[in-house]
Amino acid sequence: MNVQIKGSNGITLVPIETRLMSYRKIFIEGEINSQAAISFFKEILFLNEEDFKAPIKIFINSPGGEINSGMLIYDLIQSSRAPIKIFCIGQAYSMAALIFACAPRGNRYILPHSELMLHEPALGNKVAGNSSSIRSIADSLMQTRKQLNQLFAKHTGRKEKEIEAATGFDHYFNPEEAIKFGLCDEITSLDKILED
């Protein structure tokens, strides 16, 4: 989608994402994969170089996706010099829930009918191979599960055992439940999104 920009040379059509990025607003939408993570890397790098004092607003609506790609986005949010505010605008499931929860406390906002979902990491593909290979895959998956649970514990203030219990199945949180669990700070509205 393009928007019109009026200038001294007339009207120019600009992609709406470009226009929103000029207001320091970026989006994580759809599946989290390597392409989404690299796109986010470019945007966050540019905005940090442009002005590291002005806040960056991140809007997330994602069913989750690849753990490695999600961890790249996580690391970038954690290391951003510019202040981060994050908004859940629909859903933040699985890896997307961790990305949402990792924003600084007091800066995690959710729209009234959005939701979060936590669960254990799952294998994306059919498992094949000999017993040693399968054991190695299982050990790696358990290590990943422990790492993700530790990160959720860090960002929610919950004990690791509580996170383990919550991620043992597909656990959905409405906004009030997300705030109570420590995943989110505030239910928000368009007015808050439009604030500078």
- d(CA 108, CA 87) in angstroms, rounded, equals 6
The question of whether 62 is a catalytic residue gets the answer no
Cβ contact 178:184 at 8 Å: yes
195 in helix, strand or coil? coil
Q: Single out the catalytic residue among 119, 136, 140, 189.
A: 119
190 in helix, strand or coil? helix
The question of whether 133 is a catalytic residue gets the answer no
Q: Single out the catalytic residue among 62, 69, 80, 94.
A: 94
Which token pair is 14? 């600009």
- d(CA 182, CA 12) in angstroms, rounded, equals 44
Measured N-to-C along each axis, helices 67-79 and 34-50 cross at an angle, to the nearest 10 degrees, of 10
Cβ contact 108:101 at 8 Å: yes
- d(CA 129, CA 148) in angstroms, rounded, equals 26
Which residues sit opposite 11 in a β-bridge? 6
Closest CA to 104 of 86, 128, 87, 117: 86
Catalytic residues: 94, 119
